[in-house]
Amino acid sequence: MQCSWGQWSQELAQNHLMVEHPLIQTGGHPMGRAPNRSGIYRLTTRVVKYLMLALFAFLLVCLTAPIFSDFQVIGTLVSTISPWFWRLAIVTICLMATSAVAEAL
């Protein structure tokens, strides 16, 4: 018996939805339950995420400034952002250590 492409794909989708995947049964987490993370852990992950995003944006500015022949922008940004970036990086490392200890308790 031959069926059209539409019937075949619809039948395949219905059969695929009937198969239960083990991760679907456990709520999506491979260990069976979603982890209950502390607030400091969530704060740390957000700080790291936005720090990396800011570093990526700074890298893009440094890469595109020479294209527009504007080398003064790079010098100004480095002299302005560099001290704050290092301070924020040190605070982030301390926050990561604190959250690791808090999660271990």
Residue 32 makes CB contacts below 8 A (sequence gap 6+) with: 26
Same-domain status, 53 and 93: yes
Res. 21 pLDDT band, cuts 50 70 90? low
Residues 46 and 2 in one domain: no
Q: Are residues 49 and 80 in the same domain?
A: yes
Q: List the structure tokens of 88.
A: 């924020």
Would you tell me the crossing angle of helices 71-104 and 39-64 to the nearest 10 degrees? 160
Q: Are residues 11 and 40 part of one domain?
A: no
Selection from 87, 86, 88 nearest residue 50 by Cα: 88
The pTM (predicted TM-score) of the whole model is 0.58
At residue 74, does pLDDT exceed 90? Answer: no
5 and 18, same structural domain?
Answer: yes
Within a 10 A sphere around the Cβ of 2, how many other Cβ atoms?
5
pLDDT of res. 51: 92
* Total number of domains in the chain: 2
Cα dihedral across residues 81, 58, 98, 36: positive or negative: positive
